[in-house]
Chain A
Amino acid sequence: MLHSLLSELPRFFGPYNLLFLAQAIGVTIALTIVGCGIGYNFGFALALLRVQRIIDIPPLRWSAIGFVELVRRLPFLVLLFLVMFGFQAGGYTLTGMAVACITIILRAAAIASETVRAGLESVHPNQWDAAATMNLSRLDQLRHVVLPQAWRVILPPAMIQFIQLLKATSIASQISVIELTYAGKIMNQKGFSATLSYGTVLILYYVLCLAVERVVRRMEKRLVLPQHH
């Protein structure tokens, strides 16, 4: 078995296959960055809807809570199919890529909203009051007083969630988006061993996540203010 696996290696890592895998990695990265880039912004807005000191409109607050609780409590796979069939029912046939992007955006928004809310709640209410006493507007209270202190609570989990979402993009393979996991499936169907195909994909994900982790650590150091005592 090991022998036949080794004999497949040169063919498996031929130039065309390498290019194919590289493209697939590109799709995985693109899905993650687009999904998180847009989703995190929505999540931030959703979190603000739930902070009564900034926006105090109960129906908006309740819908934000409802959305977040719904999306957090659905498996990614089910959410993916709900988005796909939902748009189909509405008369829009989207590409797999679009469905995957929308699903990741929804997911990222729901998760980020919880993280941002926890971060904002970690800042003592006196800070808001003090800023209000200084006659800062609500938005300025948030921007200049509360957020700078909240970042250090928000960023570490947000970075971990970024890697979680990167891993979740593998589920987009189920609607034929040619990202890294689907590429593994195609290699397997081309006749290469499943152990080799999926094993390579697994290692590539590991390398990718480690690389992201390293970049993220560096950004974290730059973004988070030192803690004052």
Chain B
Amino acid sequence: MAYSFHFNQVWPFLPYLLGGAWVTVELAACAFGGGALFGLLVAIGIESAPGWLRGPLAFYRSFFTNTPQLVKILLIFFGLGELGWFVPPFWAAVFGLLLAESAYLAEIFRAGFASVNRAELDAAETIGLTRMQTLRHVTLPHLLQTVFPPLANQFIVSILYTSLGAIIGVEELTGRAFNVDSQTFRSLEIFIIVGVLYVALTLVSTAVLYGFGRFVLGVRARIF
């Protein structure tokens, strides 16, 4: 291999890249948080909305799970821009990712609702639990057990998808890698460092989410 590595030209940019990692986390948190809210509404809608609304909601879920995130981001950024509404790249990426996120999370929440057994709710009522007690001791434990592990996985997946923001100019980790690349031309070195940062980011997330699930929620599951 004739290539000689020159990491020393890239090290000075490490703090800049780490700042990008923080933007990545912000992007993932916004897309995931918004997606969770939307997804919950969609899931409740599909379960309990009047009949005429269920068709459109099912279509929403099917459409946004079966289309690439990148095209959604491009459509929001360039499409809306053309119509005269300039969406800043960060928010275009958030909304593009959020659409798919909400569709996936809706499915996860629905599985959670399904895990709560009707008979157990009746039993809780029979032994005289109040509504709040039922929620706390019967419904929530079931819901968390089924919902937390896939939610945690999905959060880590959404960290990886945020790199698509770089394509429309969001200066997150990958976007900043492009910037450093155009200044130093040490492409391979930069992408190796950025790759290591992504692996570290997801490993830390795995550890934190596992710990949170295990010690706070009492859910023991393999995360990502």
Q: Which of A74, A174, A184 contacts B160 (CB 8 A)?
A: A74
Which residues of the other chain, A, contact B177 by a CB distance below 8 angstroms?
78
At the interface, yes or no: B18 with Cβ under 8 Å from chain A?
A: no
Which residues of the other chain, A, contact B160 by a CB distance below 8 angstroms?
73-76
Q: What is the count of residue pairs linking A and B with beta-carbon distances less than 8 angstroms? A: 116
Q: In the complex the two chains form, is A202's CB within 8 Å of B66's CB? A: no
At the interface, yes or no: B63 with Cβ under 8 Å from chain A?
A: yes
Q: In the complex the two chains form, is B70's CB within 8 Å of A188's CB? A: no
Bound-state CA distance A224–B126 (Å) is: 42
Among residues 69 to 109 in chain B, which have CB atoms less than 8 Å away from a CB atom of chain A?
69-72, 74-75, 78-79, 81-84
Q: In the complex the two chains form, is B66's CB within 8 Å of A199's CB? A: no
Among residues 194 to 219 in chain A, which have CB atoms less than 8 Å away from a CB atom of chain B?
194-195, 198-199, 201-202, 205-206, 209-210, 213
Q: In the complex the two chains form, is B198's CB within 8 Å of A78's CB? A: yes
Q: Which of A76, A88, A195 contacts B75 (CB 8 A)?
A: A195
A73-B198, A74-B198, A75-B160 known; A205+B79 contact, CB < 8 A = no
Bound-state CA distance A81–B74 (Å) is: 20
Q: In the complex the two chains form, is B2's CB within 8 Å of A198's CB? A: no
At the interface, yes or no: A86 with Cβ under 8 Å from chain B?
A: yes
Q: Is the interface of A mostly helix, strand, loop or mixed?
A: helix
At the interface, yes or no: A41 with Cβ under 8 Å from chain B?
A: no
Which residues of the other chain, B, contact A171 by a CB distance below 8 angstroms?
68, 70, 164
A194-B78, A206-B66 known; A85+B188 contact, CB < 8 A = yes
A91-B2, A170-B68, A195-B75 known; A78+B83 contact, CB < 8 A = no
Q: Which of B3, B63, B75 contacts A194 (CB 8 A)?
A: B75
At the interface, yes or no: A70 with Cβ under 8 Å from chain B?
A: yes
Bound-state CA distance A201–B84 (Å) is: 21
At the interface, yes or no: B58 with Cβ under 8 Å from chain A?
A: no
Which residues of the other chain, A, contact B166 by a CB distance below 8 angstroms?
77
Which residues of the other chain, B, contact A168 by a CB distance below 8 angstroms?
68
Q: Which of A76, A89, A205 contacts B67 (CB 8 A)?
A: A205
Tell me the smallest distance from the CB of B176 to a CB of chain A, in Å: 12
A73-B203, A82-B191, A91-B2 known; A209+B66 contact, CB < 8 A = yes
Q: In the complex the two chains form, is A181's CB within 8 Å of B71's CB? A: yes
Bound-state CA distance A79–B82 (Å) is: 31
Which residues of the other chain, A, contact B66 by a CB distance below 8 angstroms?
163, 167, 205-206, 209-210, 213
A85-B187, A167-B68 known; A73+B3 contact, CB < 8 A = no
Among residues 34 to 88 in chain A, which have CB atoms less than 8 Å away from a CB atom of chain B?
69-70, 72-79, 81-82, 85-86, 88
At the interface, yes or no: B49 with Cβ under 8 Å from chain A?
A: no
Among residues 156 to 199 in chain A, which have CB atoms less than 8 Å away from a CB atom of chain B?
163, 167-168, 170-171, 173-174, 181, 184-185, 188, 193-195, 198-199
Bound-state CA distance A181–B168 (Å) is: 14
At the interface, yes or no: A134 with Cβ under 8 Å from chain B?
A: no
Q: Which of A73, A78, A185 contacts B174 (CB 8 A)?
A: A78
Q: Which of B3, B72, B78, B195 contacts A74 (CB 8 A)?
A: B195
Q: Which of A69, A75, A79, A198 contacts B71 (CB 8 A)?
A: A198
Q: In the complex the two chains form, is B195's CB within 8 Å of A89's CB? A: no
Which residues of the other chain, B, contact A226 by a CB distance below 8 angstroms?
none
Which residues of the other chain, A, contact B187 by a CB distance below 8 angstroms?
81, 85, 88
Among residues 36 to 83 in chain B, which have CB atoms less than 8 Å away from a CB atom of chain A?
62-63, 66-72, 74-75, 78-79, 81-83
Residues of A within 8 A of B (CB): 1, 69-70, 72-79, 81-82, 85-86, 88-91, 163, 167-168, 170-171, 173-174, 181, 184-185, 188, 193-195, 198-199, 201-202, 205-206, 209-210, 213
Nearest 4 CB-CB pairings of A with B: A75-B163, A194-B78, A209-B66, A89-B3
A-B contact pairs, 22 of them (CB 8 A): A74-B198, A75-B163, A75-B164, A76-B160, A77-B174, A78-B174, A78-B191, A81-B187, A88-B187, A91-B2, A167-B68, A168-B68, A181-B74, A184-B74, A194-B81, A195-B78, A195-B83, A198-B74, A199-B79, A202-B67, A205-B66, A210-B62
Other A-B pairs, 4, CB within 8 Å; known A76-B160, A91-B2, A163-B66: A82-B191, A85-B188, A89-B188, A181-B70
